Chains A and B, each alone.
Chain A
Amino acid sequence: MRESMPLLLVEALDPSDREATHRHIESCAACAEEWAACRDTWKLMGELPVVEVPARVRQQFLSQVLRAPAEGNVVPLHRRREMRWFAQAAAVVLLVGGSYYAGHRASPVVLAPTDAKIVSASPSFSIAETRVLPAADVSPTIEGRPNIDNVQFVDADPRDGQIGLSFDITSHVTVTGSPAEKSMVRLLSYVLASEDRMKPSRSRAIDWVRDTYSAPNNADPEIADAMAKILRNEQHAGVRIRAVETLKTLPSKGDNPRDALIEALRSDPNPAVRIKAVDALAKLAGSGAQLDGTAVDTLRQKAAQDDENLYVRVKAAEALSKIRPQ
């Protein structure tokens, strides 16, 4: 078991072993401690910064290999050189704006969203190579609960609408692709649903998801499901409010989001969440979506509930008035 842990760190186990190992770690206190220590060590090791290769090495190499002087007349900027590490992909432009930087280790953050595009290389100082993977190359099946940290979002490139999601998973990876690609959606859902993988700004992350996935052709039920899960489980009220707002704007079909809305309406302690939930249900009813018996009962009960906020009661009655037979 202990020998497997480093393998787990580098995702070298196959998915079923990974899953089994994770399950064991969850159930065995000693191993859980061990695993935590392992992960902490791994993280600490990440503090080793990337070192720049002195320019003279390049000049000497090229002059040795090519008789003519190397074209190293322009010393590439530190940043630019690191961009070349990104395999054969196009440069990844990270829009580092106050709204979108969800990373754990904050570098100086630009505040009010600016239009400046900052061409930045590695966002943290991990020596690990940063790989850029197209979403098409990433399997949409996420098995074995990979450990994801330091999540950041890359806004849609105006030229081709491609978005990016970058995170640490042994090394720093950026996955780029169209918002509609299944792998992208799957990864995002995984990241959103995982409790501690995205501190501190889950709220901002949800805003980003809403902006990206509200367009009708980007709609995907998995994103709605991820929001539903957050709505059900999240303890941070601000995040739940965001999640329910997002559910309202996402073009969602499917039972899971609707059930989450009903549960939230019935029992969320925060009145703003209940308001948004009943708004969303009223909108669903108005658009002709089917509300089943549970929904009708919950709405009916809320409308009649004396100590419920008046807005919720009225909106619930309004939602009921819109339901129609098939």
Chain B
Amino acid sequence: MKQVALLLFVAAIATTPAAMAANFSMTERFSFEYPLDADGSVWVDNPFGNIEIIGSDAASVSVNVVKITSGVDKAAIIEGRTLTQLGTRGDHRVRELRTAVPDVPARTMRWQSFVTYSIRAPRTAHIKVSSTYSDRIHIADITSDVTVKNVAGEIVLNNIRGRVVVDSVNGNITFNPAGRPMSSSQLVTVNGRILISVAPDAAFQWVADTIQGDFKATLPVLHPQFNGRTFRGSVNSGGPTITTSSLMGDVFVLRTGTTLSQARSVRVTPPQEASQASMAPVAEPLLARHFQAPVVEGNWQFATNIGNIGVGEVRGDARVMTGAGQVQLSLVTGECNVTSRGGELELGDIYGPLTARTDAGSITVSSARSGGTVITGGGTIRVMSAGGPMTLRSGGGDIVVRQAHGPVSAETRSGDVTVSLASASRTETVEAHTGRGNVVLNVTPRFGADIDATIITSDPDANSIESDLNGLNIRRESVGRRTRIHATGKVNGGGQRVSLYAEEGDIRINAPVPVVVSPQP
């Protein structure tokens, strides 16, 4: 709540007595009237409560306020009532009405207030409404512009001729632009739906964007064009532009007299739309966010724009794509290819070659029995067991490989890389690279390799290369302002190439002798 100096004008023209109703609430009613020019402005700021503004021919603003305070006891109600203040300020050009409540923390559960404004204003006035939670905001018969902002609650705009701007988070928006839209308008909601109701000969350009919603109409929409998630089309020809943005909900353009259920999607998905950007085969975007199946027999392919996928077993090859969402696969007996544009991947036992890729999110693989490639644009990669060659890449995040039975190439932009080779590995090719972090390689004492380990650090005393295996020569040199510590050599007679690289971190080659519990004498 902004701290604005207001003239607090609480005119108690009619106040119900403070007698408590059985449900501990108190209702107060107030009425005010103020002169206003025909092209004046009305601003209403009412965080909790309904607002209704109807245009009229009078040269004044008349306001009826109903203030309901409910509380756990009389004291709470009195506190709530006192703390919920109605204020106004302005003159014949601008009339501002505001409900002032204390900041959220001060509003305890002990009381709640709900304030409803019923307003008559000149139909030519400019209207601006700001609310947080309401059941309904209703504005009608206004020929000038209307701006509404709220978080949750239905917004209904009827017979508005001027420009309309609505900004909501969860509210549904219903807009009736006086039959034919005369001005450009913008309706934005995140989770709500948008409904526009127009006469059959209304003419306007329609621009819409969404993530998950659909665009439906009972009017023909000409020249429809899709561009990723943005849609353009026109209703009849010419006219102003109406922009609708509902990220998760549907948008309807209805001819007066038709209903929602009659509306049809304007999406015509031509085959060439199925590019990498939009995951095709789905005609209607999935509103169900979770696709689950315990077992799939045979090869399986699945793609969705948005959705989480969880499958127990795929007894065959698996190919899964999601535009956004998590993917969980417990077992795949064949080849496995998983792609997500954003979301975490959790893979269990994968028998065939694995390709797992996400633009963002962590990837966990229990067992990649034939090895594979695991890539994330940013996130942690954990592979518990790798039965074949592994390539691991992360744009930022740790990489951990336990029990690697084959060569490993791991690279992260920032994060620790920890690779543990299975005890049977006498020698193996390993590449581990981090742009910021530590590299730890765990091997058995008999492990043989040609080692090349480099650290670049700005703090040569804090970072070091340490090895349990003998045979390394260490050299230090300056590289600009930093120091390069470089260790090379053959351990246990040499073997495959092991190259380790870390910036601003340590490199550790651990070859522990198995430790036995020593019993207490």
Contacts and interface: CB of A to CB of B under 8 A. Distances in A.
A74 B505 contact: no
Interface in B502-521: 505-506, 508, 510-518, 520-521
Interface string B214-237: 000000000000000000000000
Given A310-B306, A310-B324, A238 B397 contact: yes
B360 A323 contact: no
A313 to B, nearest CB: 6
Nearest to B442: A111
B78 interface: no
B361 A272 contact: yes
A119 to B, nearest CB: 6
A57 B413 CA distance: 58
Interface string B150-167: 011000000000000000
Contacts of A317: 190-191, 211-212, 247-248
Interface stretch (B86-94, B197-205, B346-354, B376-384): B376-384
B128 to A, nearest CB: 18
Contacts of B133: 325
Interface residues of B, number: 71
Interface in B394-417: 395-398, 402-403, 412-416
B380 A311 contact: no
A106 B360 contact: no
B510 A303 contact: no
Interface in B167-221: 169-170, 188, 190-191, 211-212
B474 to A, nearest CB: 16
Interface string A163-193: 0000000000000000000000000000000
Nearest to A273: B378
B112 to A, nearest CB: 7
A234 B188 CA distance: 36
Contacts of A320: 169-170, 190-191
A199 B462 contact: yes
A109 B379 contact: no
A323 B359 CA distance: 28
Interface in B481-521: 505-506, 508, 510-518, 520-521
A25 to B, nearest CB: 17
A119 B188 CA distance: 64
Given A203-B398, A241-B398, A314 B212 contact: yes
Interface in B269-312: 306
- Looking at B104, B340, B361, B466, the one whose CB has the most chain A CB atoms below 10 A away is B361
B24 interface: no
Interface in A281-323: 290, 292, 296, 300, 303-304, 309-314, 317-318, 320-321, 323
Given A199-B506, A270-B378, A311-B341, A237 B436 contact: yes
A320 B508 CA distance: 45
B462 A196 contact: yes
Contacts, number: 189
Contacts of A326: 104, 107, 109, 112
A241 to B, nearest CB: 5
Q: Which of B190, B402, B505, B510 has the most CB of A within 10 A?
A: B190
Contacts of B376: 272
Interface string A75-106: 00101100000000000000010100000001
Contact of B380 (A108, A201, A238): A238
B191 A275 contact: no
A273 B466 CA distance: 31
Given A111-B512, A238-B398, A272-B376, A200 B324 contact: no
A313 B396 contact: no
A113 B247 CA distance: 46
A236 to B, nearest CB: 6
A269 interface: yes
B413 to A, nearest CB: 7
Nearest to A40: B461
Contacts of A79: 518
A270 B414 CA distance: 10
B122 interface: no
Interface residues of A, number: 56
Contact of A275 (B247, B361, B437, B510): B361
A309 B462 contact: no
B415 A236 contact: yes
A323 B170 contact: yes
Contacts of B505: 200
A274 interface: yes
A242 B382 CA distance: 13
B28 interface: no
B344 interface: yes
A109 B510 contact: yes
A98 to B, nearest CB: 7
Contacts of A203: 398, 416
B427 interface: no
B371 interface: no
B438 interface: yes
B333 interface: no
A310 B512 contact: no
B506 A200 contact: yes
A117 interface: yes
A235 interface: yes
A296 B518 contact: no
A198 to B, nearest CB: 12
B425 interface: no
B360 A271 contact: yes
B448 interface: no
A110 B397 contact: no
A110 to B, nearest CB: 5
B71 interface: no
A309 B325 CA distance: 11
B416 A201 contact: yes
Q: Which of A236, A237, A274, A296 has the most CB of B within 10 A?
A: A237
A309 B414 CA distance: 20
Contact of A310 (B152, B341, B412, B521): B341
A261 to B, nearest CB: 16
Nearest to A111: B442
Contacts of B30: none
A66 interface: no
Contact of A241 (B188, B211, B379, B402): B379
Contacts of B323: 310
B389 interface: no
Given A237-B413, A314-B212, A272 B378 contact: yes
8 contacts: A109-B512, A119-B520, A199-B506, A236-B415, A270-B396, A271-B360, A272-B397, A304-B190
Interface of A: 40, 74, 77, 79-80, 96, 98, 106, 108-112, 114, 116-119, 196, 199-201, 203, 235-238, 241-242, 269-275, 290, 292, 296, 300, 303-304, 309-314, 317-318, 320-321, 323-326
Top 10 A-B residue pairs of the complex, sorted by shortest distance between their CB atoms = A311-B342, A271-B360, A238-B415, A272-B379, A237-B396, A238-B398, A310-B324, A237-B414, A309-B342, A271-B378
Interface of B: 48, 104, 107, 109, 112, 132-133, 151-152, 169-170, 188, 190-191, 211-212, 245, 247-248, 306, 323-325, 340-344, 359-362, 376-380, 395-398, 402-403, 412-416, 420, 436-438, 442, 461-462, 466, 468, 505-506, 508, 510-518, 520-521
Given A275-B361, A311-B361, 14 more contacts: A108-B510, A112-B402, A114-B515, A236-B437, A270-B397, A272-B360, A272-B361, A272-B376, A290-B104, A304-B190, A314-B248, A317-B248, A326-B104, A326-B109
